[in-house]
Amino acid sequence: MQRIIIETPDSLSAILVGARWEAVTKLLPQGDVVIVTDANLFNLYGNRFPRFPVLKLKPGEDSKKLPVIQKLTTEMLRLGFDRTVFILAIGGGVVCDVAGFLASVYMRGVRCGYISTSLLAQVDASTGGKTGVNLGRIKNVIGTFRQPEFVICDTTMLRTLPDTEYMSGLAELIKTGLIGDRSIIDILENNQAAVLGRDRELLTDLVARSVRFKASVVAKDEKEGGIRRILNFGHTFGHAIELHQSVPHGFAVAAGMEIAARFSLEKKYIGVKVYDRIIRLLRQYGFHGEFKVTPRRVRELISHDKKKSGDMISFVFLKGIGKAEVKKLPVDEIVGFYSNFRDL
> Of the listed 111, 130, 209, 212, which one is catalytic?
130
pLDDT (0 to 100) of residue 344:
58
Q: How do residues 176-229 score in pLDDT, each as one tens digit? A: 999 999 999 999 999 999 999 999 999 999 999 999 999 999 989 988 889 999
> Of the listed 56, 146, 228, 307, which one is catalytic?
228
pLDDT (0 to 100) of residue 10:
82
Architecture of domain 167-342: Up-down Bundle (1.20)
What does pLDDT average to over the chain? 94
pLDDT (0 to 100) of residue 127:
84
User: What is the mean predicted confidence (pLDDT) over 148-175?
Assistant: 97
pLDDT (0 to 100) of residue 291:
85
Q: Taking 80 as the threshold, does the pLDDT of residue 166 lie above it?
A: yes
Q: Taking 80 as the threshold, does the pLDDT of residue 308 lie above it?
A: no
Domain segments of the chain: what residues? 2-161, 167-342
pLDDT (0 to 100) of residue 307:
66
Instruction: State the fold for domain 2-161.
Output: Rossmann fold (3.40.50)
Distance CA 174, CA 281 (A): 9
pLDDT (0 to 100) of residue 342:
81
Known active-site residue 239: yes
Spatial CA neighbour of 143 closest among 118, 125, 156: 125
Q: How do residues 315-328 score in pLDDT, each as one tens digit? A: 999 999 999 999 99
pTM of the shown model: 0.94
Distance CA 334, CA 299 (A): 9
pLDDT (0 to 100) of residue 137:
80
Known active-site residue 200: no
Q: Taking 90 as the threshold, does the pLDDT of residue 39 lie above it?
A: yes
Q: Taking 80 as the threshold, does the pLDDT of residue 309 lie above it?
A: no
> Of the listed 61, 165, 172, 258, which one is catalytic?
172
Q: Taking 90 as the threshold, does the pLDDT of residue 246 lie above it?
A: no
Known active-site residue 140: no
Known active-site residue 249: yes
Give me the percent of the chain exceeding a pLDDT of 70. 99
| Helix 249-266 with 272-284: angle, nearest 10 deg | 170
pLDDT (0 to 100) of residue 311:
85
Known active-site residue 244: no
Known active-site residue 228: yes
Q: How do residues 74-124 score in pLDDT, each as one tens digit? A: 999 999 999 999 999 999 999 999 999 999 999 999 999 999 999 999 998
- Spacing of C-alpha 239 from chain mean position: 12
pLDDT (0 to 100) of residue 224:
86
Known active-site residue 304: no
> Of the listed 139, 209, 212, 235, which one is catalytic?
235
User: What is the mean predicted confidence (pLDDT) over 25-29?
Assistant: 97
